[in-house]
Amino acid sequence: MCLISIRAVAKCSSGPEIGLFYADPSGSSTWYPLWPSVPDTISLPWLTEGEIWISAFQDYDCSYHYQFSKNDVLVASGPMNHDWLLGTINPITGPGIYDLCAGTEWYICDRHWTIVVTDASEITPHCKLELRALLGGAAINGPNSTMRTQLRLTEDFPLTEPFTFMGWTDPTSGGESITGSMLDSTNTQPVVDWVRVELRSVENPNEVVHAINGLIHKNAVVTDADDHGLVFDVPPGFYHVAVRHRNHLPIVTEKVLLLPYSFYLYTNYQSVPVFGIDTRMPVPGSSNLALRPGNALLDEGPQRISYAGLDNDRDAILQRIGGIVPTAIVSGYYNEDLNMDGVVKYAGANNDRDVILQAIGGTVPTAVVVE
């Protein structure tokens, strides 16, 4: 059963606060602090298969009261409970305008919030997301969490997103393109490469609701093809977020985000859990995590990285350079360029074969990492 509760928290030192507590169908729960990071009026879609309720509590040194109404009709009132688990006020029973008022006296409203619950089809689709991610193949060791950008200087760097050609398609994305000026070396945060960002369904993390093929920059910020922030044409609600790259293993957030109120996501943070096996790799010299590189050969099903055996990624590099002379090199924009320096190398300094070996652990060549 889907559960959402809106919890008002009265702290005497700073005044009441409000947040959302959401438990998705799998039982995973997430706390969303909303105040003071969002306005007093909060718009939410009505979830027909879930339950929504308002809950209020306060610190033990506080004496706050609340009033709760729907469509200007008082539903409940009284002192806030000190135990938030016991602080249930009243369930939200459907679309409508709900008002929660908190004050030091029952007749005083020091602070109030309006929760507008609307049929999802009636909400204007417009959700922003500030996203950061690191690509392990381009990541620079050290605490600054930046990436190399020389790949954009290759003559064949695509001005149109590469994912449609790879078969990563959905009805909401495809064909995003840039101009050559976007790859200008004078940009303060140059482009590293194309990435694909997908909003996934709460009920099924494998179902794509909306996607944007965008650009990842030196400072880990992901933008759309116009170098603007990511804006998804979806109504406010709960979504998993997936980040995909052509030669790195993808990730999907384990916990859902409430968009647009959870407006930022930094997947390089260890505090952000991912769905299934966490395939991210630590960036040496920092506390950050990066998407795992080494996926030179794309698989039809779940993506995997392997150094030996059938359909391994190491052989893909050898085939790209001609398959005969291991010291040969090929310059350009290729999936086999795992360290993203614009050159495919099988042997020698800064070769791409070592990226695979490091990605599977560095010691057992028969090991395999699967998304």
Locate all alpha helices (DSSP H) within the chain, ordered by sequence. Answer: 163-166, 313-320, 353-359
- Where does a domain end: 238, 261, 290? 290
Residue position matching structure tokens 């006020």: 89
Q: Are residues 345 and 269 in the same domain?
A: no
Q: Are residues 77 and 98 in the same domain?
A: yes
Within a domain: 241: yes
Q: What tens digit of pLDDT does each residue of 261-316 get?
A: 667 899 999 989 999 999 999 999 999 999 999 999 998 889 999 999 999 999 99
**Looking at residue 90, what is its pLDDT?**
55
Within a domain: 75: yes
Residues 6+ apart with CB under 8 A from 300: none
**Looking at residue 127, what is its pLDDT?**
85
Within a domain: 295: no
**Which residue type does 118 have?**
T
Count of helix runs (H) and strand runs (E) in the chain: 3, 25
Q: Are residues 71 and 211 in the same domain?
A: no
C-alpha dist (Å) from residue 254 to 26, 112, 202, 203, 270 = 10, 32, 10, 12, 13
HEC secondary structure over 140-192: CCCCCCCECCHHHHCCCCCCECCHHHHCCCCCCCCCCECCHHHHCCCCCCCEE
Task: Give CA–CA dist 135/250, Å, rounded.
Answer: 10
User: The domain containing residue 131 runs over which residues?
Assistant: 127-290
Task: Give CA–CA dist 79/82, Å, rounded.
Answer: 9
Task: Give CA–CA dist 57/131, Å, rounded.
Answer: 33
- Where does a domain end: 63, 95, 122? 122
Q: What tens digit of pLDDT does each residue of 213-241 get?
A: 999 999 999 999 999 999 999 877 788 99
- pLDDT band at 4, cuts 50/70/90? very low
Residue position matching structure tokens 């050969």: 297
Contact 235, 123 (CB under 8 A): yes
Say how many CA atoms lie within 13 Å of 1 toward its Cβ. 6
Q: Are residues 118 and 203 in the same domain?
A: no
**Looking at residue 48, what is its pLDDT?**
46
- pLDDT band at 37, cuts 50/70/90? very low
Q: State residue 85 phi and psi, 5-degree precision.
A: -70, -25
Residue position matching structure tokens 């698989």: 299
117 closest CA partner among 44, 169, 61: 44
Residue 326 has pLDDT above 80, yes or no: yes
Task: Give CA–CA dist 208/131, Å, rounded.
Answer: 17
- Where does a domain end: 290, 320, 349? 290
**Looking at residue 124, what is its pLDDT?**
62
Say how many CA atoms lie within 13 Å of 21 toward its Cβ. 13
Task: Give CA–CA dist 78/186, Å, rounded.
Answer: 61
Within a domain: 296: no
Q: Are residues 75 and 187 in the same domain?
A: no
Q: Are residues 153 and 111 in the same domain?
A: no
Query: How many distinct structural domains can be found in the chain?
Result: 3
**Looking at residue 49, what is its pLDDT?**
43
Q: Are residues 316 and 198 in the same domain?
A: no
- pLDDT band at 88, cuts 50/70/90? very low
Specify which of 33-37, 61-65, 80-84 reaches the highest per-range mean pLDDT. Answer: 61-65
333: helix, coil or strand?
coil
Residue 330 has pLDDT above 80, yes or no: yes
19 closest CA partner among 31, 4, 30, 11: 31
Contact 285, 142 (CB under 8 A): yes
Copy the structure tokens of residue 275: 């769905």
Q: Are residues 188 and 226 in the same domain?
A: yes
How does 115-135 read in b/e, with b if 16+ C-beta sit within 10 Å? bebbebeebeeebebebbbbb
SS3 content of the chain, % helix, strand, coil (to 5): 10, 40, 50
Contact 340, 355 (CB under 8 A): no
Copy the structure tokens of residue 17: 């606060």
357 DSSP 8-state letter? H
Task: Give CA–CA dist 129/222, Å, rounded.
Answer: 10
Q: Are residues 38 and 89 in the same domain?
A: yes
Q: What tens digit of pLDDT does each residue of 134-174 get?
A: 999 999 999 888 999 999 999 999 999 999 999 999 999 99
Q: Are residues 110 and 139 in the same domain?
A: no
Averaged pLDDT of the chain? 82
Residue 329 has pLDDT above 80, yes or no: yes
Q: Are residues 229 and 325 in the same domain?
A: no
Contact 160, 180 (CB under 8 A): no
Q: Are residues 149 and 275 in the same domain?
A: yes
Task: Give CA–CA dist 258/128, Å, rounded.
Answer: 11
Give the residue-averaged pLDDT of 110-115.
71
Copy the structure tokens of residue 23: 């438990």
- pLDDT band at 29, cuts 50/70/90? low
Residue 96 has pLDDT above 90, yes or no: no
The bridge status of strand 50-58 relative to strand 281-282 is unpaired
**Looking at residue 36, what is its pLDDT?**
45
96, β-bridge pairs = 117
